[in-house]
Amino acid sequence: MVVESWVGSMSRLLPRAIREGGHEFTFLTRDLHHYLRSAPEGTAHPLLGARNIVTADTNDLQALLPEVERLHAVLGFDGVLTSCDYYLPTAARIAGRLGLPGPGPEAVENACRKDATRRILADAGLPQPRFAVHEEWADIARAAREIGYPLVVKPVDLCAGMYVRRVDDEAELAAAFRALAGFPVNARGQRRAPVVLLEELLDGPEVSVETVSHGGAVHVVGVTDKSIGGAPAFIETGHMFPAALSPADTEAAEQTALGALKALGLTDGVVAHTEVKLTSAGPRVVEVNPRPAGNRITELVRHVTGIDLAAAFVDVALGRTPDLRRTDTGLRSAAIGFLVPHTAGTLEALDGTELQDTPGVLEVQLAEPGKPVKAAGSNNEYLGHVMAGDAEGPGARDRVEALLAGLRAGLVIR
C-alpha cells in the first residue's frame, strides 16, 4: 500500500521501483485530483499505475485505521510506505496496526516533528544547536534574546525549507512569527502545530548522510553535500555525491548521523536522510528525515554507486534485505543544480535544448515558457535542474555550475 506521495520525482521513482521489484501496489489518497493536476501533459501520472486506487480520508487516522484493516482483509498487503513527509507517521501507524514491517510509529513521529527531535537528541547528549520551542510571542522573543541573534526560525512540521528563515533582530523575528501564524494548515489540509522552533545559527557547510536500516543495523550508503542560497531563506541550490570531504569530516558526519538515528530508534526498516552541519565546533545535527532523500539525491547516489535507494525503500517496507552492493558505474561523482528564480512574473524564455547532448549531462528538466513564476522562498519554486557526472573525480559540481550559468544568461522572466 502506498499512502499518498509527493508529486515530484519520488512519485515517479517509487512506482518504478515497485514495478521493477516485481510487485504491485494499491494507492490510497484523499484527493486523486491532486495528482492528476500534476501529471505531465499528454501522459498519465505514474501513480495511476496502481493495481487499485482507493479514496479515503488519509488525514483522519482514527477513521482510516479500521478502513485499511478492511482493505487488508481483502487485498492482503505486504508492506506500507509513502514518499510524502506529511504521511510518514500515518504509514508507520498503518504498518503497525496491520503487523507489517517498518520502523516504530513513535520513532517516525518524533523524527517528523522537529521539536520532538531536538528534545530527544538533547536527552541523548548528541551535538546540535542551542534551541527553544515556544508558542506565545513573549516567550519566543525572550528565548531569542537568550540564544542570541542571528538565529534561525523554523516551523516544527513543514518541509522543503518552507518558512525557515534567518533573523538578525527582533523586528525580523516578529515578521517571521506573523508569516508562520498566517499558515495554519499545510498543503495537504492538515492543521499545523502552532509552535515555533528557534535555533542557534550554525556556521560551516551542510551535508546529508544517506542510510538504510534493516535487521537492527544501520548501513551508511554515503555522504552528500549541499549548496544553500536565497537568504534569508535556506533554499537548496544544488547537491553533489559523494561530498568532497576529508576522511575525518566524512567519518564525523557519519557517526553523528548514526548517533541521531539510534537516539530516535530508527534502526530498522527505514531509509533515512540525516542532515548535519560541519561547524567550527564540530558536527551538529540539523534534522533527521525517515525517508529517502529528495531533490534527486537518490539518483545521484545511483549514478555513482549503482545503489537504488528507492528500491531499498520498497525492500525494507516489505521486510526484505535490500541490495546495497556497489557497482562500477564509471562515474566518480554526480551533481545536480537547481534553477532558482529570484523575481516573480511569467517565464518568457528558458532554452536548454543543447544541453541534452552535452557530454557528461545526465538529466535536464526545465519549465516551459508561459509558466507563472514566484520568487523562491523555499525548495518548491525551482524552474528546473541540470544533473551531470564526472568519471575522473569530484568535478561534477563545477560542470553543473557552468551549465547553469549558461541557462541563467538566457532566462527571461517578465
Mean pLDDT computed over 19-32: 96
d(CA 384, CA 388): 14
pLDDT value for 413: 94
pLDDT value for 352: 86
Where would I find the beta strands (DSSP E) of 290-358?
333-338, 345-349
Of the candidates 330, 342, 270, 262, which has an alpha carbon nearest to the alpha carbon of residue 302? 330
Are 243 and 311 a contacting pair, CB within 8 Å? Answer: no
pLDDT for residue 366 is more than 80: yes
pLDDT value for 42: 60
365: Cβ contacts below 8 Å, ≥ 6 apart: 384, 385
217-257: per-residue pLDDT in tens?
999 999 999 999 999 999 999 999 999 999 999 999 999 99
pLDDT for residue 180 is more than 80: yes
251-307: per-residue pLDDT in tens?
999 999 999 999 999 999 999 999 999 999 999 999 999 999 999 999 999 999 999
Task: Calculate the average pLDDT of the chain.
Answer: 95
Of the candidates 3, 24, 4, 6, which has an alpha carbon nearest to the alpha carbon of residue 15? 24
Structural domains of the chain, ranges and CATH numbers in brackets: 2-100 (3.40.50.20), 130-200 (3.30.1490.20), 204-329 (3.30.470.20), 333-413 (3.90.1170.30)
Are 368 and 277 a contacting pair, CB within 8 Å? Answer: no
In sequence order, the β-bridge partners of residue 287 are: 275
pLDDT for residue 9 is more than 90: no
Q: How confident is the model at residue 40 (pLDDT cuts 50, 70, 90)?
A: low
**Which residue type sits at 295?**
N
d(CA 110, CA 127): 17
pLDDT value for 99: 97
Cα 99 to Cα 72, 92, 214, 263, 352, distances in angstroms: 11, 10, 17, 24, 49
pLDDT for residue 41 is more than 80: no
297-354: per-residue pLDDT in tens?
999 999 999 999 999 999 999 999 999 999 999 999 999 999 999 999 999 999 888 8
